[in-house]
Structures are given as structure tokens and as C-alpha cells.
Structure 1
């Protein structure tokens, strides 16, 4: 299936930009950080992307090559990228997972053994998946299936899969709505939740949809979490709530998202990938793009 290559590339570029922007806001001086954020003072460049961007690039290149998710090849691709550059802020469990897959162990056994046989419920499958949603945007059943497959290559826990499905569906809806009016925040979040299996992720998406219109970002982060636990339930509902606040204004959405602090590179990566699937990066200031580490040329 050829899919939406150009739209998926827009989503990838938004994801990488969001990742790098969010990562730049891990500042040592919290009080100064609050002042800079209140004044919307950009952090100095260059902004380096993290494991969010690294794994999203692998997933996008995989889709360009195969047109679908092939779990064995995708897991091998993630492991090869990790071996090439393991210093991209990978989560603690992913070091072991990707090292073992790279050494030749089967991904199914490796991922299933994590966390006493439960598998990882981290946000790593969700953080990278937006370009996949954009790619398959015309077929939501395909989006759900392919997102699930992409998640299982590294994350066996149902909550991690639910988080990946939610982000992929959100990106697909955003991409499919290009050129038309954006849905309301509750409508968008409920439509995403309708495609997610019963889970904590789904429950919190519906809670996010029910938050009053005047809810502040900090209040939403308190209610939903903003990635402090690095889990899919703690990350995805908040990130998609933020994306739904400013669906046609990527820079504004990223400023709002980082107000929640938490796992800000990942929440901003998700927001960037979803909104850019709808808007591209055409309205992103040139300075932001100049600050952001470039996506490397396609690799075999």
C-alpha cells in the first residue's frame, strides 16, 4: 500500500521538531525555566532530537521501504539504529530490549519478558507512531492494525499498544481533515477513544474529552499526567488533549504542551506529529526549523 508518503513526511518533521523543542526545555534552573516559558523565550539552539525522533525516523523509513509494518524487520531496524547511536535518551528498559534484539534474540521473547512478563507499558511505542497514522489515514481499521504491530516490536503491554493506537488514529484523523475545519476538542478525543481498546489510556482520553473548556494546561496535567511516569496512560491522553487545543497552530500547541512539564520531549513529539499531519510545517518560524537538528538522509 503506497499510503500518504508526503503527509507522513510532514508528520515526521513535526514529530522531530516537537521532540527537539521539548528536549530543549529540560533546564536545570526550574525558576528560570518558568520565567523563560512565561515570556516564551526560545532556548538556544541547536535542539537535538532524542529516541522519539530516532525511532520515528526508522518507522517512517520502514514504511517507505515496505508499505506496511513487518515486525521482524522493524524490530531489527530499531536495534540497528540504537547500535548506531545509543545516546538518544532511550528509556532504561529499551537499552536491554534493543541490545538483545541486535544480538539476535527474537523480539517476541525479549519484549514479553520485560517487567516480570507483563511487557513495557511505557510511552515509547506512542511517541514514534504519528507518521504511521498519517500514512494510512484513509483507512482507520488499517491504522489500528498497523499501529498495534508497530508497538509490539518493542512493547508487549496492552496499555503501550493502546497508546500507540490512540496517537496513530489521532494523526490519521488530523491528516484526513487537511483543508477542512478542525473538530472540537471533545469530538476529536472521543473519536480517537472510540478506536482504542478498553484500557486506562481509553478511560483517560474520555476524561480528557470531558474537561471543561477553560481548563488550564497545568490543571489538565494534574488530572491526566504529563509523562512523569513515562507510561502510555500518563502521557498520551494529555498530549492529545494539547494537540486538540490548537489543531491548526503547531508552534502555539508546542508552547502550550511544554507548560505541562513532565516528559516534555515525548509529549511535544506526539503533538508535533499529530498537528503537522494536518498543517505541515509551513507556519513554523524559520528560527525554530534552523534550531532543530536535521533529519538524516534516508538510510538502507
Structure 2
């Protein structure tokens, strides 16, 4: 029987909660406007469905389980294409529809992704949104975290900023995992530690700015300065999501409420924050109603001991 590490399952579950929680707020905000966030009352719905963020995170965890923690890029590309073909209605971005269809048709993943955007490759946030459980998996070896996070990134997002975003999220999840059972790191210290391990990039610059923000910085100001995913790029998504996570490393529920207040690409920012925070806290403290409402996760790998 394959036994997945508890922090990996916790991170995956937190990512799925964040994804499903954030995704449903797109509809609530369209119907009721931003005032709905002030009340923090969730209208009853039959199920909180998770999106492509979680679908791809499941693929990544299966890949890690089969590879003993290492990402085989060819196999990972095939897995992403198979997951997409099985359910194309999970909110995949426009470019990813094309990429994953071409993967499924047998084209080289490297040729497809490096030709995107006039040869620059995608710098979207898709590689960052799925990667937190990888950081929890390799938490004991930060060099392995960075290496494997970058390896999984370039399969779909070959721009260096996309890889930097993925590495940042994975490192944050690894550091959160390392802090389990002890006091939560201070926000600024946590963000500085992540930034210090990153290559020179806009993502690193954004995280450094986040680390310098005073404790009294408002959510709105942080979202405006750092970006909350409106551009759906790594630099425009990851610094804000990690700022939210780093300020709530002992409170997953509050962390998700604060993250969604930033608006923008809210399923992805909440998936990132949820995956990082839950790598430290788990998800047991979330309200029972959330556990009932969230779409269940499938069995992760054949023979695995439990589902997230």
C-alpha cells in the first residue's frame, strides 16, 4: 500500500478547499457584488466544485507518488493531457485547452510550450497553482523542492517567471511543513526566507516588496501593489497569495477569507494560499459545513491509504 506523507495530503486538501471556495465566489460576486464579502455569509449551494487548479494538483501528486518524488516530464505531460480529456469543464484557461489537446494528440510537450507567445512561453500562474503539495513532499530538502518545482513547471509554462512562481509556492509550502508543531514564523521573516531562495525575477521582487509591507497594510493596498491575479501571470499572482498565506499560517479559514477579499484570480490565489497554510495546519479546523460542501477528491493513487 502506498502511504502518502501527511503534509502532502494536508496541502492537497487545503489547495482543493481554497480552489473550490475561491471559485464559487466568482458567481457570488457577479450576483451580489463586493458587499457580499463583508458579511462573510456563504449562500447555500449543493456542492463547491473544484477547478483545474485541483485537477492538475492531483495529477502532480500521482506523478510524485509513482516517481518516488521525482517528476518524469514526459509522463507528467501525458497525465495532464489524460486528466484534461477526462473532464474538459474544470475551468482551464484558453491557452491550456490548446496545449493539452496537442499533448493528447501526441505532440512533443517541449515543442508545444516553447513555441507559445512568440517563443517566450507562458508566464501564467498555472504551474504555481498546483505545486504546493510538491513542496510538502520534499520539505526536508529545499534544493529538491526548487528543482522539482521548476521541472514540473516547464512542462506547461516555460517562461522563467512561471517557473519562479512555482518554485516560490513550493518553497513556501516546504517551509510551512517544516514549521509544523512549532510557532508560526513571522510574515516578513517567512517571505524573506522564500525570496532568498529564488532566482532573480519579478516574482522574487514582488515577494521582497510583500515582506517589507508594514503589519498594518490593508488587504486592498496589498492587492493593488502586488497584484491579485487579474493578469493571471506568476508575478501578478504569487506574491499576493504568499503574503496572504504568510500572515495566517495558523488559521486556514481566515487565510482563505482574506485571500478572496483581494479579488482577481480568486480560485488560484486561494488554491495557493490554501495549499501553503494547510501544509502546516491541515484542514480539520475548517467548519464542518465546508467539509460537507466541498466536492470530494478522488482516490489519489491505487492502493493509497486514504483520500485527501
TM exceeds 0.5? Answer: yes
Partner of 1:64: 65
> TM-score if structure 2 supplies the norm length?
0.94
Alpha-carbon distance, 1:299 to partner:
5.3
Q: Is the 8 A contact 1:126 1:232 kept in 2?
A: yes
Q: Match of 1:169, SS?
A: helix
Q: Decide which of 131, 147, 150 is 2:149's aligned counterpart.
A: 147
Q: Is the 8 A contact 1:58 1:77 kept in 2?
A: yes
Q: Partners in 2 of 1:109 and 1:138 — Cα distance?
A: 34
Structure 1 residues 292, 202: CA separation in 2 closer, same or farther (over 3 Å shift)? same
Q: Partners in 2 of 1:10 and 1:227 — Cα distance?
A: 24
Partner of 2:5: 5
Q: Partners in 1 of 2:29 and 2:77 — Cα distance?
A: 38
Alpha-carbon distance, 1:29 to partner:
5.0
Partner of 1:185: 187
Query: Which aligned segments of 4 or more residues in structure 1 are displaced greater than 3 angstroms?
Result: 28-31
Q: Partners in 2 of 1:183 and 1:136 — Cα distance?
A: 19
Structure 1 residues 201, 43: CA separation in 2 closer, same or farther (over 3 Å shift)? farther
Partner of 1:268: 270
Query: How many residues align structurally?
Result: 299
Alpha-carbon distance, 1:27 to partner:
2.5
Q: Decide which of 196, 205, 223 is 1:194's aligned counterpart.
A: 196
Structure 1 residues 57, 89: CA separation in 2 closer, same or farther (over 3 Å shift)? same
Query: Which 10-residue stretch deviates more, 266-275 or 57-66?
Result: 57-66
Q: Partners in 2 of 1:137 and 1:42 — Cα distance?
A: 34
Partner of 2:36: 36
Q: Partners in 1 of 2:253 and 2:161 — Cα distance?
A: 29
Q: Is the 8 A contact 1:178 1:278 kept in 2?
A: yes
Alpha-carbon distance, 1:63 to partner:
1.0
Q: Match of 2:184, SS?
A: coil
Structure 1 residues 4, 205: CA separation in 2 closer, same or farther (over 3 Å shift)? farther
Structure 1 unaligned residues grouped into runs of 5+: none
Alpha-carbon distance, 1:42 to partner:
1.4
Alpha-carbon distance, 1:298 to partner:
3.0
Q: Partners in 2 of 1:152 and 1:34 — Cα distance?
A: 36
Q: Partners in 1 of 2:230 and 2:147 — Cα distance?
A: 28
Structure 2 counterparts to residues 49-198 of structure 1, below 5 A: 49-67=50-68, 68-198=70-200
Q: Is the 8 A contact 2:59 2:80 kept in 1?
A: yes
Structure 1 residues 218, 116: CA separation in 2 closer, same or farther (over 3 Å shift)? same
Q: Is the 8 A contact 1:25 1:33 kept in 2?
A: no
> TM-score if structure 1 supplies the norm length?
0.97
Q: Match of 1:278, SS?
A: helix
Q: Partners in 2 of 1:163 and 1:287 — Cα distance?
A: 32
Q: Partners in 2 of 1:73 and 1:14 — Cα distance?
A: 25
Q: Is the 8 A contact 1:159 1:199 kept in 2?
A: yes
Deviations 1:28-85 (A, max 9, x none): 6558232221111114331111110000010011111111111111111001000100
Structure 2 unaligned residues grouped into runs of 5+: 303-308
Q: Is the 8 A contact 1:3 1:135 kept in 2?
A: no
